[in-house]
Chains A and B, each alone.
Chain A
Amino acid sequence: MIRQAEPGSPAPLGRVVATELKPATPHQFHFWTANETTIGIGAIVKVEGPGVGDQGPGRVVYGVVTDGFAYSDLATPLHDVVAAEGDPARAAESPSVRQEIRLWTAAVLRQQPEEPLQPVPLGAVYVASDADVAQALRMDAYVTGAQPSGIPVGLYTAAGLEAPVYLDADFLLGPEAAHLNISGVSGLATKTSAVEFLLASIFEHFPAHKGRVAALCFNVKGPDLCFLDRPGALDDADRRRYERLGITPQPFERVRYYAPFKADGVNLNTLRTHPDLVGDVEPLVWGLSEVLDFAEVLLNRDDIDAKADAFIDFLSDRVLNKEFDDGFGGSHRVQTFADLNGLFRAIFDGLELSGRSDMWRTHHIATIRKVRNRLSNISTRCKGLVTDDGPSSDLPWGRFEDRTVYVVDVANVDPLGQDLVFARAVSKLREHLERRDLGVEAVVVFVDELNKYAPGDGPETYVRKMLLDISERGRYLGLVLFAAEQFRSQVHRRVVGNAGTTLFGRMDADELATPGYHVLSPAVKIKLATLPIGELMVRHPHFTQPIFVRFPRPAVLRGRDGVERFPPAADLPFEEAVVRQLARLDRRIRPNQVKDLIAERRPDDVRRALAAVRRTRPDDALAYFRRMLGARVAPATAPAREAVPPLNPISEEPY
């Protein structure tokens, strides 16, 4: 007989049971429910021990269901066979249904009072209410109070209840703990969607006392992050969830897009090239000095030696942007790759003509050749990102704006260039955050495919070292890493280990079999392996056990939908692309004016003049462009541009 609850008091859904073989402990307990119950794996329950209620404050224990068992009073399967006389169809004809049990195992989330810590009382079990969920997850400590710091991460949904779950900003974005790692199989729109949703949540709920916050997202594949400023399709359930979480369902108000050029130097290398959208994509173009600062990124493991390092340092300290005498009578002012190549050629020629040794200023010619090849390599492989002519467009260091997403689209950039972009951008962020002059107090850096940048095995790379550094020290600076990967087990242990908050989407069964998941019960693993889109398992320092939450679809246009609604435009002819670049800077410019100016001019000269305009941003862009074009292409003054020969990967040259 299942009794009805007294009016006004919730009916218990189960009762804690303990046997010698399955005892209740301070961290785990077992309870049974009716066969038809609303709870399941991941549900949060409350146990009230004797004394709760009229008799005063008793022990209350909150737990999360981690496993479930069902069995009947059947002594052995053979008895079922005997009763059905070997016919499975007859088994269903039994006039009585055997007694069954639904037995659940729950892990303790919190006990009240917390001391003395005791085994869970053998009391009644109730479905957790909104308030219970807050207590169970210790959210009461940071969601309310004078300086609340709760960041909604999703809705805990079980037994017909939808309760908001909050992360603590102090533990998500520093300084107590920081970083977020998200794992899940690809193609289920979970990892990127979750980060997009969470960024929106952070922007809306970032506590005022913590200052300003921005996000820098690296778009490393397809159009994933190319339409964050465009509204996506939401259904009523999504809107209801947004309302419940206190988040406005709208795309990001401020998004700045950056993308390098293609090899032609005028068309942007991004999928956001639809005529309606391409106008707000800033080119990302770097020069020699930007690359030289991060030359280590370009060197592979075999290259790392003190000699190459010393020579690169020599170039940075003594050569770059200075008047430099090569020792053979030539004077150089190295500002571009072309300038640097001129210097290298002068050195090689000088050594050859003078018949001197293979040493130049204590550097062996082989070392010089090695460094030259590596630097030449980057300028060839990342031609649209790195120019021979110095920087012309960069992220707004020192002028980062509050609640703004900066998207750097490197999806179509050579992996070496991706590493370079990532290394330089993050290093610059760290540098500015250390000086407190970035413009915001905290920056979330989102990196997808973390197993590529910080693999658990493989050679030590500059990028991996940098990610380790962020994960270990970033929280003090406000530099927060949000990273995603398909296989967490393949990411460096210290990088994932330092993530204070971890999200899991649907997981691959093989991945779940790796040692990192042994703490999860088989039932939780099965739930993870079959998790629907929009559901996550969350680990957070305040939660003593993983919690399952459901989050609404991000209110932004998904990449796939974005390229359908805003198909990327075909590359423009050179003249048209130049017109567009200049018109972006000065809307008064007429296309014919530009076309007349660049007619019969060498493309390299045009690109160089365009870069100068972008770098200077003059009031009268056309006039400045005309001046730069004229000054650089005059036959008497313009040095003949020497192309940097590409590195032949199968060259017999040992460097």
Chain B
Amino acid sequence: MPRSWVDAILAAGAVPASYVPDASAGRTDLEEFTGADGVEDVALRTYAVADTRPLAPGAVAFLDGIEQWRVVGYGGVTPIVRGYVAAAVRRRGPDRRLRTAAEASRELAITRLESLAEPLRRALAASGVDLLELAEEDVGQPGRAIQAARRELERARLAQERELGERCLAALGPDEWLVVDGVLSDSAALSAHPRALGVIKSHGAQYFEGPELERALTLPAGHRTSVFQPKRRGARRAIYSWYLRLWPWEGNDLLYGLVRVEAHADAVTVARASALSAWLLRERSPLSTPDARWDRLLYAIHDVETYLRSRTPRDVIAPPGSRLPRTGS
């Protein structure tokens, strides 16, 4: 998408701006305690998986998405945000190299149209850019509006990932798995697929309390918990899940190296939870450094993210220099 709509709104009277917040910092919603039902064991237990024979799929597709945004103008005090979301599936075959199998991207304008002057509204409408409207209560102080814009963009990214993931399922080979960066339970198709796996790095949701919570969060390296089923909440689908510790947390943080895995709610999942966990342990190598989340970020997912960032329009990314006034062209 050319940045013509940005030029158009600037030409229409928007005050130019350039503010790029931190992007892709993970899910922003911290959830309340939801609870879970034991599936493999009544009470949460831990299992060593280091010596388990890992699952060795012939091919694996990895799905991830990114979001980038920047405030490109103000109509009065209402920010006009330029958002960009993209998702890609990179497939790994027998040669162990990752190649892009599918990708999708979308550019968005996020603002509150009613708060903008008429010329600005006309310019945005004429540009044809997808528009996400902010709620009335989110507009006022720019800080609040920007946070709201970020939430809108995150929703757009998740939708993009979900759509691409569901599309990818149809093309999945008989021995091929799809590993998603994030939850499966947002999608009926993904959560029902026997060879889809969600790997969740952020732990906003709380499923256990007391000793079970402690057992889950102090899991030793190379161990998993019993398979459990998070209690259903909202539109989430039934899913089986377990915690897995990739790297020793001692000396770091409770969440260091801890991922939660989601898979199809089926007895087969329970039977191969250890094999799946052993496979994910193998995925620790190579390290996904220099990403700060390398302790939980699988290299293949990091690769998808790197790919998507390399294809992001340059003018959406934060400029590397200072924000001194521009002096030349």
What is the interface of chain A, defined by CB distance below 8 A to chain B?
Answer: 1, 73-76, 79-80, 82-84, 90-91, 93-99
Contact = CB atoms under 8 A, between A and B. Distances in A.
B282 A93 contact: yes
A80 B286 contact: yes
B285 A83 contact: yes
Interface in B54-71: 60
B306 A73 contact: yes
Interface of chain A, main secondary structure? loop
Counting chain B CB atoms within 10 Å of each CB, the highest count among A76, A90, A95, A98 belongs to A95
A361 B170 CA distance: 114
Given A75-B290, A94-B96, A95-B300, 11 more contacts: A75-B289, A76-B289, A83-B285, A83-B287, A93-B282, A94-B286, A96-B98, A96-B303, A97-B95, A98-B286, A98-B299
A82 B92 CA distance: 23
Given A1-B99, A1-B100, A99-B306, A93 B290 contact: no
A96 B96 contact: yes
9 shortest A-B CB distances, which residue pairs? A83-B285, A94-B285, A75-B290, A97-B96, A75-B289, A79-B287, A83-B287, A79-B289, A83-B286
Interface residues of B, number: 20
Contact of B286 (A1, A76, A96): A96
A83 B286 CA distance: 6
B285 A93 contact: yes
A187 to B, nearest CB: 42
Contacts of B286: 74, 79-80, 83, 94, 96, 98
Interface in B219-257: none
A419 to B, nearest CB: 65
B186 interface: no
11 contacts: A1-B99, A74-B286, A75-B290, A79-B286, A90-B285, A94-B96, A94-B286, A96-B96, A96-B283, A96-B300, A97-B95
Contacts of B314: none
B99 A91 contact: no
A82 B100 CA distance: 28
Contacts of B97: 96-97
B164 to A, nearest CB: 15
Contacts of B289: 74-76, 79
Nearest to A85: B285
Contact of B282 (A91, A95, A97): A95
Given A75-B289, A96-B303, A83 B284 contact: yes
Contacts of A96: 92, 96-98, 283, 286, 299-300, 303
Contact of B92 (A75, A95, A99): A95
Interface string B278-301: 000011111101100000000110
B282 A82 contact: no
Contacts of A84: 285
A430 B97 CA distance: 67
A91 B306 contact: no
A459 B100 CA distance: 70
Nearest to B303: A99
A78 to B, nearest CB: 9
Counting chain B CB atoms within 10 Å of each CB, the highest count among A1, A82, A84, A91 belongs to A82
A1 B283 CA distance: 23
A77 to B, nearest CB: 11
Nearest to B284: A83
Contacts of A79: 286-287, 289
B283 to A, nearest CB: 6
A94 B290 CA distance: 18
Contacts of A80: 286-287
B84 to A, nearest CB: 21
Contacts of B284: 83
A33 to B, nearest CB: 15
A60 B292 CA distance: 43
A82 B287 contact: yes
Contacts of A90: 285
